[in-house]
Every structure is written in structure tokens, then in C-alpha cells.
Structure 1
């Protein structure tokens, strides 16, 4: 690559040919040509504008939890927003930067005596990722409490979108079909009792720890819930728990998870996903769609 964006932007931390396995929750993924960690909206704008002037593709990541990066890595500029992690509470609102951990936002709400975010107490992703995919758990989802999001448009302009404009549905938002970058989220919550809020968060975290294979690296829940079914139940009934390709395996603890049991590659993960999808379809006629986001290029 002839143009070095790192040289053009020396005040921003930009790594070259950096393995994304160092950052993804699966501990897999090839290298990013350039990997940047913007600390502010202004730096994010500067990075995107410079990359587009250089005709570099731009990929934006949050906490890289519900994500698989192919072994060939990501071309162009990749940005991880976890340095943008400020959280404020005002009256009945929590205002969180996109790179803030969703779990941190739930803790801030609890300290402020605000209820409504308890469902996210164990979601390992970022706030921006939660908006991007309408993340949810235990009957709650982002769409129920998200008032608005500050985004950077494809034209490089800052714009605030309200809940309706984000067009939420199950594991979907309008951001997914656009070049917009989520920079901040505002949650509208309700007054509650701190100790009761904490009790609910503790209860949901207990359920998560007792049912999910948190002892292994994983990308969280792999498949969307098929209408009328549960993905984990279908996978369990297909006898696929323990199925392994390379270092990736269907969890024996929770069939909806694929775990890295022995230095897995992204290709191992994708092979397991494909086998699970084909087997479940052959046995039931149900097509499992991935919830996990798969990005990047195949290795040469």
C-alpha cells in the first residue's frame, strides 16, 4: 500500500498490519491494514475524511464481541471506538459514547437510580454496537429504551436520529444498511430503587453465568431466533453439541454458542456455522440466520 494514513495523522494512534485476534472476543481474525483508536468525535471525523480522500475503505468496530473477522483481515482503515467511553446521567437519561461498554452504561443507570437497562447488564458489547444491532437479552432490547443516537453520516455530517428514524426491529437498525457511524446514544429510562435495580442485574448475570460458556472465548449468541423456534434448542436436538472443526466447537453448555477451545481460526468458526446451518436445515427445514456479524476477507 503506497499511502500511509498513519504518517498523515501522527497525533492519532494508528497501528499497521495489526492482528484483530488481539481485540476480538473469539481471539480470531486476520490483520487490519490500519487500525486506529479515535478518542473523540473530532478524531473520528478526521480519520474518516482522510481515509476517504485516500480512497481507503473504512470499517468501524466497537467491543468486537458479536463479531467474526475472517482470517484474511480487513483492508483499509479499521477504527475501534473503545477510547470514546464517556457516560453521563441527567434526570431520567443515560448519555453514553459509542465506545462505552454496554455493561458500564447499566451500572451508571443503577447508580443514578434509573431502571430500564437491566436487561443489558451482561451484554459484553459496546453501546454503539448495541444500537447497531438492537442488542437485547432476557426480554429487553435497545429499541425499548433508546431515545436517540448521534451519528456521523456518509457525507461526514453529525446528525441526531430519534428512535423511529433508527427503524429498529429484531437485531436490526437503520445503521446496518448505511455508512453511518454511531457516536453516542441517549437512553430514556425511569426512576427506580437502586437496590432493586441491582438485584435484577445480579439475577440476570447469575442466569447468564449459569447457562453460557463464559469460560471460553466466543462471539456470544451466533444465530438469530427463528420465528416459532429457539436456535439453541434446534441445534441441541440435531445432536450438534460438541461438534468441532479445527479449534472451534459448538458449546456443550449452550448449543447457541460456538467456542474457541483450541487456538481456533475464523475459518474454523465459519466451518462450524455452515455445518450447523446445513444439518439443522436438513433435519427440520429451518434456515438459521447468523446474528453474529461476519466481516473481512478470506485469506489468500
Structure 2
């Protein structure tokens, strides 16, 4: 039973009706294409709506979860109790000199393109990451020797008291796939990035090279959440999984990619349980064979199916 449906009207007072979705099947909103229903899915169109939504949730003791593009997310089969706030329409990007400011729902690819269009270099590494600014700051996203920590100047966040504050780069405490935003469960509203002027031709060459690498090495033809595991110190997760003999190994509709063993894919109508069982199996095999702990990079939320 959806105990939060009674709040639908409260949100419709300041949302378009089509942006308030009751019993929303989360498999339709995440890249893995699995997951049960969210009681209420909200799609805000500006930062003010975000702030007001969180205020209402806090005042009414409604649990809430924030998601961006759903590219690094696994929702369990039982779905999500409460409200899911999906940020992908809060996406303004502005450029002033060598500084780009982007709202939480702006796609990294779009920010990378905006940098290119303004002859700014430094953001090329993010051109193929299929996530949003909010999620990227949350986990200090990175690829090809670049990461958010290298270019960020500050981020505007909502803290646990519902207050808006601006955190400097140092205050964000950005580490490998971690940040103070993740540790304290803050919410990113926007971020500022300091880049450098460069040559458009060279910037474009780097973007094209990284795009080709991504397309040739990653299983983009299947639903997934990108790299399934964080990189263990001194190792590569994909090589450990491959050396454990797990390339192509499957449970239900989930499988280890034949193209890149660091990716668990939804090969054939997988359930979230299939994926979670496969993740656990991979962790056990790698632990037994190499005495190395693998930790998921994918964010796992929701409840198991009863």
C-alpha cells in the first residue's frame, strides 16, 4: 500500500501534474532498467522547487531520495518508500570567462560541450560519463585520469537542516569516489568549475579520442550502471574479476560483461536481485582467490521485494 499517495496534492500545488508521478516504475528511470516502484516521483524544473520539496518532505516526515540521470543507481525490486526527486530538468549552464556554473541536473556531457564551445579545457575527461553534475560532485566522478576534484571551485548544497550553503573545494573533502556531500548526505544544487582557455582543435581531439576509447571498451549496448566496483588499491577490479574466471558469468538475467569484466550488465530482463546476487558472488570469488575486497561503486537504494 502506498502510504504517501495522500501527499500527491500537496506537491501538485507547485508542480506540473505530469511531473508528479505516483507509483512510478523506477526501472523506467535508471540505466540498469530494473527496480520496483517509487511511491511518488517528482521532477522539479528549478532549484526553488527542489528547496520547497525538501522542506515539505521534512515537515511531513516523508523519506526522500535524490537521483540525477540514474546512471549509477541500482533500485531494489521492492521499490522506494517515500519520494524520489529526479533532478534531470534542473540543468542550466552558464559561462563567465574561465568559470562554468552548472545546476545539479545538467549532464556532464553537456557541460563538456559547453566548455568546448567556449574554448575551455580541463573538463574533457567527463565527456563520456553519463551522469549529472549533482551525482558527479556527490561521488567525485572521474575517468581517464581526470576527476571533479581537479576542476571544481565550489558547490552550492542543501545541508541536513535544509539550509543552503556554498562549500569551497577544500570543504567538499573530495577523495576517490567520495565527498563530504556523500558522507553527510547533503544535496548538491549547483557547482562552479574553473577551467583554462585552450585551442578548440586540441580540445575536440581529446574529446573524440576519449569517446572512441569508451565506445570500444565498454558494453554500451547493454543496460548497466557503468563500472560496478570501485578500484581496489593496487589493483584493477575488471582484471581481478577476469582472472577469477568470471568473464561472461551470469545469474538470472544479469551477467559479467564479455567486453569489460568491470561491468555487470542487464543482459536479459534481469531483476535487481539477479544483479545483487551476481555482485555478491563476484565479491566472494575475488576475496577467496586474491584476498581483495571489492566495494560497489554503484549506489544501491530501495527495498527488497517481499
Per the normalisation by structure 2, the TM-score is 0.96
Q: 1:6 deviation in Å?
A: 1.7
SS of the aligned residue for 1:166 comes to coil
Q: 1:277 deviation in Å?
A: 0.4
Which residue of 1 is the match for residue 6 of structure 2?
4
Q: What CA distance in whole angstroms lies between the structure 2 residues aligned with 1:52 and 1:299?
A: 26
Q: What CA distance in whole angstroms lies between the structure 2 residues aligned with 1:18 and 1:233?
A: 37
> Alignment partner for residue 190 of structure 1, among 192, 196, 216?
196
Which residue of 2 is the match for residue 249 of structure 1?
255
Which residue of 2 is the match for residue 142 of structure 1?
148
Tell me, yes or no, if the aligned pair for 1:3 and 1:54 is still in contact at 8 Å.
no
1:196-252 residue CA offsets vs partner (Å, 9 max, x unmatched): 101100000100000000011101001111111000000011110111111110000
SS of the aligned residue for 2:221 comes to coil
| Aligned counterparts, 1:1-300, within 5 A | 1=3, 4-10=6-12, 11-12=14-15, 13-300=19-306
Q: What CA distance in whole angstroms lies between the structure 2 residues aligned with 1:33 and 1:2?
A: 6
Moved more, 4-13 or 99-108: 4-13
Runs of 4+ aligned structure 1 residues displaced above 6 Å come to none
Structure 1 gap segments, 5+ residues each: none
Q: What CA distance in whole angstroms lies between the structure 2 residues aligned with 1:2 and 1:68?
A: 22
Tell me, yes or no, if the aligned pair for 1:222 and 1:290 is still in contact at 8 Å.
yes
Tell me, yes or no, if the aligned pair for 1:5 and 1:51 is still in contact at 8 Å.
no
Moved more, 10-19 or 188-197: 10-19
Q: 1:5 deviation in Å?
A: 2.1
1:26-75 residue CA offsets vs partner (Å, 9 max, x unmatched): 00111111100011111111111111111111100011101111111111
